[in-house]
Amino acid sequence: MTIKRAASLFAWILFAVIAYSTMSPLDLRPRIGHLVHLERFGAFGLLGLLFAIAYPRRLGLVLVLVFATAIGFELLQMVSADRHARVTDVMVKLLGGACGVFGGWFLHRFRLPLLRLLGR
C-alpha cells in the first residue's frame, strides 16, 4: 500500500469519525479533554493533511472539501436539538483545515529537496 493510498483511506475514515462526532448527541460525542477548540483544530488539521497527502495534485479541491465539511457539519448541528452552531467553532475548524492542507502541500513540495539535503 502506498502512502497516498493509506492517507486516502485514513482521511475518509477520519471524515466519518468527524461526521459521527459532529452529529451525535452531546453525551455520546467522543472527547479527548477539556480543550474542545484544540480538538476541533487538530481534527480538521489532520483531515486537511491526510487529504492533501492523498491528493497532492488537487489541493484546491481538497481545500474546498475540507472547508465545505467544516461549514456543512456545523450548519447540520442546527437541525439537532441538543447541538449548536457557532461562528467561533467554524473559524477554528477552517483554520485547522487550512493549516493541514498547507502542511500537506509543504510536504509534497519539499519532500525531494529535503531528502537530498538529508542524504537519503
* pLDDT for residue 89 is more than 80: yes
pLDDT band at 55 (very low <50, low <70, confident <90, very high): very high
Write the CB contacts of 39 (distance below 8 Å, at least 6 apart in sequence). Answer: 31, 32, 33
Q: To the nearest whole number, what is the mean pLDDT of the chain?
A: 86
Each domain of the chain, given as residue ranges in start order, spans: 3-117
Round to whole Å and give the CA distance between 73 and 96: 15
Burial letters 39-68, b for 16+ CB under 10 A, else e: bbbbbbbbbbbbbbbbbbeebeebbebbbe
Residues 6 and 49 sit within 8 Å (Cβ to Cβ): no
pLDDT digits (tens, 9 = 90+) for 62-74: 999 999 999 999 8
Identify which has the larger pLDDT, 77 or 47. 47
Percent of the chain with pLDDT over 90: 54
